[in-house]
Structure 1
């Protein structure tokens, strides 16, 4: 009898637990999910609608008017030069930021003086200024050189100034986390020259930061509008400037089709940034620890070999 009553009591308690209201933590988690999904919808829905507009025969009639690739064909026919120019500018910007930004980040990471911190802040300053202000400064200083002013190199100069901090900062962070000074001292004790240390110790450990910076530079260069709009000429019109022209002077379907083209170019870069992680400091630190252990093991082995020889 007691056993039967006990089992009934347990069943009633289990039923009450099942019917109990969710806890405060569950309500907070649900609210966070709702806010996140609403924010994503607010940001993504306009992009989806713009893409659909570029594939419909008539935007005002919607999908009911039918789907077509006509607008994409017109955009490619009129603006394919802008596509190739944007890729060329982005590639040139990336090459220059790699050649300048990686050594600069290495030097800033190794130096701990106030001067190095001041230089780092000066490098970041163009990000804090509006793109129009930076472009105006370039026009005031270098606009008199007509050969430079009329070429795409002038846009590359502006893009390098704007994107250089996005190369320096991640590389500098990885180099600082990896404790390159200790690693280089270990390599130097094994007889490695500065060039050997830079290419075999510094660059492998800075690779996550270099990769993150390269993806950021490419994405920002392809999508930069404010600075490019001030610096471009009719013969040096990049993708963002062409996009603004299509929305201002042509049908909404053509502007939306141009958005699709822009989307196709930039999305692989954004997906690559997500796939590769871009958590550069942690990755660099783990690789640095492995490399440091390897150097210490090599030093210990060298010391044992020297003792045995004696």
Structure 2
């Protein structure tokens, strides 16, 4: 089974490598940012937009979800099913349907904040909620949040201290997992950005494919490798933290 799955994923990647290396200038140009920006300005704009969107989405998601998840577990346990339902709801709604609902909202966003591609952060935060919530909820389930909070409160700590200095360090792996999943999802998102007429990496790759197929495939492969590296870093960090806790 592992061999079959490995071949299923390896053959398309090998084909992408073979196709993108037919032009010897493709990969050197891809790692030469000044020349890439001059040759493919739309691609450079898409890369910068996606990196900014990924960073801001991860920050906004963590700022909203981590305190909410901790507070619900500590003070409002009866609302946990409701919060879980709301966070998992975007998973059941296709992206094309989300765009239909978000289009009128973004008319007001454009009016107040302008048409910058960074405004997609609000839509992406909704889109990543199911995956980020599952990661953070799993981290909270692995520790005794209530006992830690009560012990900290009995020593005179305020609620912000409990969240920031007691609970958060114990779910660091879960928070990193949620952040990495957010970055991977934002870097691969196409539907919402395309239908809302915003620029990101995948939209730029789609446009680039009409003029330079080898560069388009090379950028797609680089994005896949970046997501793979992020997941590997997460896995290695989690294993190292687990071994430390065991010792």
TM-score of the superposed pair, with normalisation by structure 1? 0.68
Q: Once the 2 structures are TM-superposed, how far is the Cα of residue 277 of structure 1 from its aligned partner?
A: 3.3
**Which structure would you say has the larger RCO, counting Cα contacts within 8 Å and 6 or more residues apart?**
2
Partner in structure 2 of residue 146 of structure 1: 110
Q: Could you tell me how far 1:272 is from its partner in structure 2? A: 1.3
**Residue pairs, 1:1-310, within 5 angstroms:** 35-57=1-23, 68-70=24-26, 73=29, 76=36, 77-78=39-40, 79-110=43-74, 111-113=76-78, 115-147=79-111, 148=113, 150-233=115-198, 237-247=199-209, 249-277=210-238
Query: Deviations for 1:127-155, whole angstroms, at most 9, x for unmatched residues?
Result: 22111211221103332443346222331
Deviation at 1:177, TM superposition (A): 2.6
**1:90 Cα deviation after fit:** 0.6
Hey, what's the Cα distance between the residues in 2 that align with 1:47 and 1:279? Answer: 29
- Distance, in Å, in 1 between the alignment partners of 2:141 and 2:4 is 39
Give the 3-state SS of the residue equivalent to 1:142 in structure 2. Answer: helix
Structure 1 residues 84 and 153 mapped into 2: Cα distance closer, same or farther (>3 Å)?
Answer: closer
Shift of 1:72: 5.8
Displaced runs of 4 or more, over 6 A: none
Structure 2 spans left out of the alignment, 5+ residues = none
CA contact (8 A) 2:52 2:118 kept: no
Give 1:231 deviation, angstroms.
2.1
* Structure 1 residue ranges without an equivalent (≥5): 1-34, 58-67, 291-310
Q: Deviations over 1:196-236 (max 9, x none)?
A: 22222111112121111111111111111122222233xxx
User: Which of 1 and 2 has greater Rg?
Assistant: 1
* Deviation larger for 260-269 or 182-191: 260-269
Residues 46, 201 of structure 2: 8 Å contact kept:
yes
For 1:191, what is the secondary structure of its paired residue? coil
Counterparts of 2:225 and 2:6, CA distance in 1 = 20
Structure-2-length-normalised TM-score: 0.84
Deviation at 1:99, TM superposition (A): 0.7
Q: CA RMSD in A?
A: 2.7
Aligned residue number for residue 18 of structure 1: none
